[in-house]
Structure 1
């Protein structure tokens, strides 16, 4: 009877050692983190009448140097930098009657898939990112971009007619060296 109990205890100890070695595995640090930009560019053009100037925006939130693979973030808005799997630069550009200026920020993506407005990153590796923009699937390699445009014509209360072209541009800029 003692033999059976001792055998059972040894068996349980062996199992617990095997399972703790799996959970004790240290996750490797990713040296290079993919960096993708998603910009919405809105250009307004007066077709007839007098349009009032659009709103003004100004606030670049970051700069990226592809040679040094350095991302400089001007607004420290990232909270969990240890688990970032991808950096997403989100920006807006206004020109013409739509407004004037550029505004951007950085989002640290911890889990994929990740969605921002009508843009989703479904998968990212060292060589490509799989994306979905307004229902269209595409894959980007570093330095490649994908864009989609839409033009609308609107009439304003003062008999002014404006044309607004919105372009959504996704660029796989490259990688950021992990510190």
Structure 2
């Protein structure tokens, strides 16, 4: 069946069964490999993407449920040359060890900071809880989110936005 989905601001027609997980369509049909297959059960967060601004597990989301919705992946945030503030903060804090979870971590952090540029440490911890890092870099990840929050807050202040 031909399905139409919008990913990172571009419309795509894909041949897929409507029950196919979004993760498979992103990786196999659209060649967007940032979201990773971790567990396939929505328990690790390696596959986290945004749908309409909310962090979701793409391994559990059927592609047929995305008509008229907006999907954003790690590839839609920034580039190697121009990382967005969250990506830059993760780099600066060396938050990745093996790197497998990091795209999902960044996407979950971005969803939080899109809603609240000044979360408390407790809000960060609660929001990030669904995503796992098996290498144990959680403290660096938390520092990276705080750093991104500071960058975003400074950007808003210098732009005259309260």
TM-score, normalisation: structure 2: 0.25
Higher relative contact order (CA 8 A, sep 6+): 1
Judging by fraction of residues, say which structure has more strand. 1
Which structure has the bigger radius of gyration?
1
TM-score, normalisation: structure 1: 0.23
